[in-house]
Amino acid sequence: MSDDHPPSGQSTKKSWASRLLHSFMAEPSCREDLVDLIQDAEDRDVIDTGTKEMIEGVLDVSELKVRDIMVPRSQMVTIDKSQSPQEFLPIVIQTQHSRYPVVSENKDHIEGILLAKDLIPYGFGMSTEPFVMKDVMRTAVIVPESKRVDALLKEFQSKRYHMAIVVDEYGGVSGLVTIEDVLEEIVGEIEDETDDEDTRADIRRISSSRYSVKALTPIDDFNDYFKTNFPDEEHDTVGGIVAQAFGHLPEIGEFVEIGKFKFKVTAADRRRIQQLQVSEIGSELNATE
């Protein structure tokens, strides 16, 4: 056998790799051509589904603005600068975040960022100094809603910070964004060892008549939890049923009524619904919303 002819599988991989490299080095005719090339690579088993989705995530990030991925103002967990450690520690323990915006008056007045790890010396008697918030908190980084996400990621890397406060065109605080939010757009949801089973649960009760439901929750699990009978012939997940009901990929804040439930989108990207808020139509809570 001649050594000049590599195995067919290796040849296929090299051929696809050469095409992909050429598409990046040359001027692509359009983004759709590049997406088709990536899909072709998956169809030929050159890359797996996870790799394809990661590449697509990178492409999507290049088109996103900070406003598309930020944690909205209403969901920000903050600490008031006037609070004592005894007052804000229950918040830190309950939420288990690594960073907290420190505010005065309201969320439009960000004084700085408190890192949970900076509290350790005060909790274990390692510091002889009294706790003073202004001496412990870090400077808050401010970015506009319109900033490109890929540019923000480079800034996160070069300046070595992990959280930024997002402001609108009038200077009001509209949310916050972390490096984890950016990375999850590329690699999917990141769960760490501090996430307990309740945090990771597909369905979580957040009030007497309102629930947080992951879009990937199996329909059977939803039916078991809510005593419903949604069919699973066409779709396997709750997100599939909701997407079909919308008839389009909905944006955050849109809602649709299916049966006796109201499904509100609370998290989504350009490819899929990620999280839903579910409440029963006619409940006392819905009447006040």
pLDDT band at 224 (very low <50, low <70, confident <90, very high): very high
CATH 3.40.50.360 for domain 199-288: no
In this prediction, residues 56-70 reach a mean pLDDT of: 80
Residue 7's pLDDT band, with cuts at 50, 70 and 90, is: low
The model's confidence at residue 29, banded by pLDDT at 50, 70 and 90, is: low
Check residue 17 and give its pLDDT. 59
What pLDDT, on the 0 to 100 scale, is given for residue 184?
78
pTM exceeding the 0.85 threshold for the entire prediction:
no
The residue among 231, 70, 286 whose CA lies nearest residue 166 is 70
**Average of per-residue pLDDT across 69-75:** 83
Query: What is each CA distance from 146 to 28, 149, 151, 158, 174, in whole angstroms?
Result: 26, 9, 11, 20, 12
Angle at 71 between CA 67 and CA 75, to 5 degrees: 135
Q: Which of 249 and 138 is assigned the larger pLDDT?
A: 138
Architecture per CATH, 68-187: Roll (3.10)
173's enclosing H/E stretch is strand 173-178
Give the rounded percent of residues in the chain with a pLDDT score beyond 90.
30
Q: What is the mean pLDDT of the segment spanning 210-225? A: 90
Rounded mean pLDDT of the chain?
Answer: 80
Per-residue pLDDT of 105-160, as tens digits, reads 889 999 999 999 998 888 765 667 888 898 999 999 999 999 999 899 999 989 88
The residue behind tokens 């996870």 is 50
- Report the half-sphere exposure of 169 (CA within 13 A, side-chain side): 1
CA–CA separation, 152 and 65 (whole Å): 9
pLDDT value at residue 176: 94
Determine the angle formed by the axes of helices 8-25 and 31-43, rounding to 10 degrees.
170
**Would you list the domain boundaries of the chain?**
11-64, 68-187, 199-288
Question: How many helices and strands, by DSSP H and E, does the chain display?
Answer: 13, 12
